Amino acid sequence: MDYTKFYTPPQIAELLVKQIHVPVPVKVIDICCGSCNLLHAAQKKWRNVCLFGVDVNMCKQKDVKFTQADGRKFVLKNPVRFPLVLANPPFDKVPEKNKFKVLFNGMQSKSVTSRLEIEMLFANLRLLKEHGTLMIIMPSTFVESERNNSFRVFLAQNYFIQKIIHLPDDTFGASQIRSYALFIKNEEPKYRKTKMFNVVDNGDGYAISKLKSITFTAIKKGSWSVLPQKKCENTQILSIKRGNISSHYFSDNGIPILHTAKIQQIWKPSIRFVKKSKGNSNAVFAEAGDIVISRIGKSAGQWFKYEGEKILISDCLFVLKDADGKIATKLTGKKYSYQLKGVATRYITANDFNNWYLNI
């Protein structure tokens, strides 16, 4: 799926701009302006604001002072700073990693990314005046994924993460892309809490509802997630392994293998087949008494106690060893309740399931 051409719907754009509480800005910029819906939402709130737009594709909006350019190159060439910056950058991989490494000055070299939306985030931050505000839409993986923790920590140390708003999955239509709007101020965090909100459809349109406040300590550690975490003295690490045979090796017959399945009232994995090969020598198996967990897809987090013969599992599953049956006893009647991760394809990690189990 191409995530580079999903424009912000006008209703969502207006809802987000209403959440920006700043003195009347003289000018506002969007360096990946696309349809200009965010800019027009700003104009609707502040009638006399001057609109600046940048995009790789031509824009013919008469009320926008437009420059056709790559937003990253524009930022590096233009020293002008803005009190308000809006952005819904394309979600994509960059064709050439490290080409815009200069955007990440101040971060460790290992933090340079292959993700375009993160490069655009850092480009947008360069546009901010002191005390200026950036509102940017980012994929859920930026807020939730462990691999992006270093970026979240850097931002929390250098900016005030004012608000995090979880957008509806249907914001960009049937593509079901999970995303967040981040409200970032170019000023010292000063140990202030971050407010987290959820956008809900109340039948008459979209509305904002508050989820919680996140402490500065949590934000500073990169813990920006909406996942319900409780304090728990139990630090048990479950023995969870991920399968390592992909569906690419499935065949019409051969060796049976457990694979993920659709959501069911009582979930259980499906049976597929793979041809015998040397590649199976290091494969992961499920045995009687093991707990099989769906790792990816809409059924992610669902589990099943396996009681059959030793069998291979695919890379869409985890297997959890439960020699004495105590884990299954604790899980009986429980359904995975943490929010699934992933932008379009939902998934959980072994750590997610472990944390959920400890907090039952």
pLDDT in tens, 161-172: 999 999 998 888
Domain hosting residue 278, numbered range: 240-358
Residues of the chain with pLDDT under 50: 1-3, 228, 230-232, 278
Angstrom CA distances, 317 to 50, 265, 286, stand at 52, 18, 10
Tokens found for residue 58: 């031509």
pLDDT value at position 130? 96
3-state DSSP percent of the chain in helix, strand and coil, to 5: 25, 30, 45
Distance CA 33, CA 114 (A): 22
Pick the last residue of a domain from 220, 254, 271: 220
Within a domain: 99: yes
Residue 230 in domain: no
pLDDT value of residue 235? 58
pLDDT on residue 282? 81
- For residues 209 and 332, membership in a common domain is answered with no
CB 206 within 8 A of CB 12: yes
| pTM higher than 0.75 | yes
**Residue 110: what pLDDT?**
60
pLDDT at 1: 43
- Which among 220, 249, 267 is the end of a domain? 220
Same-domain status, 162 and 51: yes
Which residue in this structure is represented by tokens 């002072």?
65
